[in-house]
Structure 1
């Protein structure tokens, strides 16, 4: 059955053919669909937004710190460690990170300085370091260091939900996951996205049906880990021939329909970029590419990623 808008447009065409005035025809047309105003589509203009025809951006991708991994030339190898004072939920969060990131290895921090850990990781062919910081027995920050030349990204971690606390959660397999990065539109967001991308292998195993998502919205990066589940459901349909012949007993034909759904595997958390530093970690003499400051939060429609 045609919709109301289709019938209105057909009536207007008939009136136009019959010589009706154009004003009356336009008045009978349905009004255009309005686009709701949101914070995202009314964001402030940013000169650093990446464009598809930006040749300088793509030329820089071939020579940055992540090109050796993202060009399939090097397999990522990630070292995961903690701060010096670990928490009760820290080990559980790290064990779930090990199941999310392929080829990741956990090393106990002990009393080693972070510069010594960077030196050790470089000597053992690691490509990245992830440091889980804790505060009041709760993980509250992530430090991601690209090796051997950086950069170092400091993220605030919040709203952590472990796998066991997610209702109807699934258990991930050992297949290499598919990575999804959303809304990293600026130069800074593009660089942060490539840093996150360098943690994962670039040849996902689609048979495992695993998906790892980093979704940026209003400079908050939401992390989710899912797996696809395909289910077949039988649907019954009445045969049209039996209706035409007016048989007393209707013949029901069962058909199988494949339905896809997502099952969350966990963990679930949110990241907020605090700083991006040139090179590996250096708290005293390091040169920063970008640092978040309180005076940057004067407008709700100003985003940096």
Structure 2
């Protein structure tokens, strides 16, 4: 079977398509024929060597975290799935390796594919959708009327965060670029700001929560638009941000929190329910399996709306 691997840290050129043995299903795993794999910033951060402390440095490595596919075989202890079931899910966040013809997954890492969703839409959901659910489940307390600013809101996490925050009763302000204006409105934002034309820091409005998805609005700037008791969330933290958030939150009423994705079967089931209830999942670009280098070259530069996905089978 085919699998995308790399033998050293670097840009998309280190990726190669290799012929590898089919993984053997064990008593406790599910063998899945992969249909689609989504692209996430974590993919290239790990591949570039930026996350060595968490991901390690053992090679060869695979790439790709979340996926959709069809169950090919199940271990003897697996009762919830059978051959032919359509599923979606995610592998270990720091080890990944979903971009392959077939993968093995643990039962708790998958769920039934949402009814009505394409394989591409299903593959686009687990990482960013779980991040958005975790965001409001553990870091930001949303109540009716909570004022939330989402900076860089037209990407994957933003797509889910806007819609989930609105379902919880928040008043959402989305900051996007030109190509994200229509999507942010479609997803339900109360206010949409084009950062090219308006500086949210100069607008004079204060928020209960500021969520930075773009890595362009640091806490030092965001605190200017935060209410006295409020929260700022950094969704792509490095060691510096993790340390800073701890000490700032100790001494300030304006809390600084970081999102460290911790996947959960509960989140997958919630995503399935959200999507079956009509939550919009936009897949702006779909690449063929053979175009993996192009996909990973374009993804960090594209600033696309929603997600990019690689179609495998």
TM-score (norm 1): 0.23
